[in-house]
Amino acid sequence: MTTDLQQHLDTAKQYIGNQYTEELRAELANKTGLAVRPRGVGFIMTKDYNPARINLLVENDIITHVTMGN
């Protein structure tokens, strides 16, 4: 992972523990300039691979984990 992507991942990790909202997703996307996608029950998943996409794992409306790609 490049340094820039690692910095974006570190920024996204600051959102762990917050309640997921579309406003929060848009805020993170605006802050990093990257696509941000929620993952979990009730969210649509795609099979495309984008190494520069931030994935927010959401459980019971709370962000529990953050990854890049997939």
What is the Cα–Cα distance from 22 to 32, expressed in whole angstroms?
15
Confidence of residue 69 (pLDDT cuts 50, 70, 90): confident
Q: What is the pTM assigned to this prediction?
A: 0.89
Domains and CATH numbers, the chain: 3-68 (3.30.10.10)
Backbone phi and psi for residue 68, each to the nearest 5 degrees, phi listed first: -115, 150
Tell the residue number behind the tokens 């974006």, with chain if given: 8
Quote the pLDDT of residue 35: 94
Crossing angle for the helix pair 22-32 and 3-13, to the nearest 10 degrees:
150
Alpha-carbon torsion (49, 53, 58, 64), positive or negative:
positive
Cβ atoms of 8 and 34 closer than 8 Å? yes
pLDDT digits (tens, 9 = 90+) for 22-55: 999 999 999 999 999 999 998 888 788 888 899 9
Quote the pLDDT of residue 1: 65
